[in-house]
Amino acid sequence: MKYTIEQLTENIQLRRKLFKCDIDTYPLEFREALEIFIDALISAEKSINTISSYYFDIKIFFDFITLKYPNIEYISDIRPINITKYYTYLQTEKRNSPRSILRKKMVLKVFFLYLIEQGVILERHNPILKDEIIKNKTKNLKPLPTYLEKNEIINLLSCIDKNEINQFYKFRNLTIFTLMLYTGLRISEIVNIDLQDIQYAMEYEVLNIIGKGNKQRKVPLLKQFLDDGYLKCLKHYYDIRIQKQVKTNAFFISSKNTRITPRAIQMLTRKYCKNININKNITPHKFRHTFATHLIKNGADIRKVQELLGHSSISTTQIYTHIAVDDLKNTLKNYNIGI
């Protein structure tokens, strides 16, 4: 079941169920700090995904502190050295990527600044140093996105088509993967699509999506592709889906006739990529990378790509422009006139 920020605002029991703060292993001040921080995010009407991300990042930090430093009972007792040890732990033991660590650093910074603003701790007790003495060489480097080549896309969709005997699951899975590959939708956006969204899209050629931060955007679904193109599987699945008499209004449903979960799509991704021996770490988010990368490679304007992806900042989209540069480099490498 999907929840809205309005439901969280109105239902404190639901809030406590989704974001448990009364964790026995934490000192009382840790529990209270986590609770007021999550409450603030909900009051600010951040998206469910953002709140979840912040919650689990802070929880990982508190898990580390309570395990490694059981004598620390107050947030004001956390020192910069504890933070440094935490970053090392993320890198060496948790094997987090540089990008993941950067995100956790940002979340911690926001968390402690909020506690200062609320008077939970004094500014001088902020363990996050303003300026690091030893700079991280890779601090500002963003990892290049992993994506599928055209032949890998063809093999993936062909694998689903040939190996899924059940027609319902065949067209459901084909539609899920095709939408991610050819529209760049996030996995959370895929699972939240309702029947009426598709009905509207088939009539007006536009799929209305509510993305991160509850931001709305319009994703084109052209009739020429729905009728006899790469999205024709969507119409097949729609015809099968509306025949099912189930309570949920979700477009993509599970074997239990409930809204499909992100976890289920992740497992399907792993299954199909293993079947076709893709030697890459492919997750559902990599399909979004694939969509953006191929648009850039084919000369799409970066501002249009930004709008299609729903990025609030152009800098987020610019990670994909390395592809065009790589193409130029390969062109020069192959340009041999015998000098």
What residues are annotated to the active site? 186, 212, 285, 288, 311, 320
How far is the CA of 228 from the CAs of 171, 213, 219, 241, in angstroms? 15, 34, 19, 19
How far is the CA of 191 from the CAs of 221, 281, 297, in angstroms? 17, 22, 28
Residues 281, 36: Cα–Cα separation, whole Å = 37
Q: Is 86 exposed, middle or buried (0-12, 13-18, 19+ CB in 10 A)?
A: buried
- Residues whose CB is less than 8 angstroms from the CB of residue 130 and which lie 6 or more positions away in sequence, other chains included: none
**In this structure, which amino acid lies at residue 327?**
D
Residues 100, 97: Cα–Cα separation, whole Å = 5
